[in-house]
Structure 1
């Protein structure tokens, strides 16, 4: 069940830059290591509802219900556009500035959690990713999916923290230039807007 193939697959998936990685990088650059840690924690726990949905079979319901899928999807699109605006707005939650203080950790984690919770493709992704690595015993399938999901979450948290630490280290090199900070904010806003556009085009 817990095979080298699963671990390699999970690591490749986690390393691929997605919305959670971009959010963690933005917080690491904007507010430093502690903020990046909370961002990674929030993004990781935002996976829980999708793992639960996959284990309980609710992901299949989401996949077959166009209305339910669209509701969650467009809520996610709206939230990503909100994050894009927060990157551009002076004093926004994701804006990078030299004198920015670290936000409340739970607030950072809550935003990170919502990023993943409002992405309906994650439930369907886990429904496709985990079953091939199960033993085939129906009596232990839910337990096995929970265990594999827990390992995936642990890998997610570890990799995201590393991304965040890298960004926090780069922060000290970038904060001396107003031009660099301005372009970073624009870049993060553009990335979040592009991710919103991609999510809007997703189909169940």
Structure 2
């Protein structure tokens, strides 16, 4: 159940930079703190499908079905490549730019939801992470998974929001340099492309 060991494990997992962190930081640098908070919220809710899949046993089906796994995986790869393009495209959604214009929050959050929903490894991760911390009582298993998953989501939002806040604070320091903004945009595009490549090489 909920224990210091679970909290430490979950915190280490959440702190590790991944697609969601990169997305949130990109929004913080590109559009400020409000956009970063929406990104963090979207990435947090994007965990919910994987958590439900793990609770219902669907993650095991995803893991055993190569076709289903690859369908989700390559949809995720295509989406990450699209995000890379949005970092480079003039006026793209993830481009760091001097403009103060901010996208609508729901649009930012929706992209965050899709980032985690289209990652088939996330449901398999929950299938591996949660069981060691369950009591072993089948009657309470669903409630325990809901509790642990809820805590994991809360940690995700707090940590991602902090990442985004730091990025937003750094935004003012980089807006005066076109070279720095161009370098950051190319860097984000490169990172999203690398993450897409890593996901493409993953196997069920």
TM range (shorter): over 0.9
5 Å matches for 1:52-131? 52-131=52-131
2:181 maps to 1:196: no
Tell me how far apart the structure 2 counterparts of residues 20 and 138 of structure 1 sit (CA, whole Å): 32
What is the aligned partner in structure 2 of residue 157 from structure 1? 157
Q: Does 1:142 align with 2:142?
A: yes
**Number of aligned residue pairs:** 204
* Equivalent residue, structure 2, for 1:169: 169
1:178 has 2:174 as partner: no
- Secondary structure at 1:2 match in 2: coil
> For 1:116 and 1:49, how far apart are their aligned partners in 2?
9
Structure 1 vs Structure 2 CA RMSD: 0.4
Superposition deviation, residue 12 in structure 1? 0.2
Distance 1:124 1:98 in 2: 40
Query: Secondary structure of 1:87's match?
Result: helix
Residue by residue, what CA displacement relative to the aligned partner does 1:117-151 show, whole Å, maximum 9, x if unpaired?
A: 00000000000000100001011101100110000
Cα shift at 1:54 = 0.3
Supply the distance in 1 between the matched residues of 2:185 and 2:100 (Cα, whole angstroms).
Answer: 13
Q: What are structure 1's unaligned runs of at least 5 residues?
A: none
Deviation at 1:99, TM superposition (A): 1.1
* Length-normalised TM-score, structure 1: 0.99
How far the C-alpha of 1:102 sits from its partner, in A, is 0.7
TM-score, normalisation: structure 2: 0.99
Matches of 1:49 and 1:147, distance apart in 2: 15
1:16-42 CA distance string (max 9 Å, x none): 000000000000000000000000000
| Cα distance in structure 2, aligned partners of 1:173 and 1:107 | 26
Aligned to 1:43: 43
How far apart in 2 are the matches of 1:30 and 1:100? Answer: 9
4+ runs of 1 displaced by more than 2 Å?
Answer: none
Aligned pairs for 1:13-28 (under 5 A) are 13-28=13-28
Measured against aligned partners, the alpha-carbon deviations of 1:43-63 in whole angstroms (never above 9, x if no partner) come to 000000000000010000000
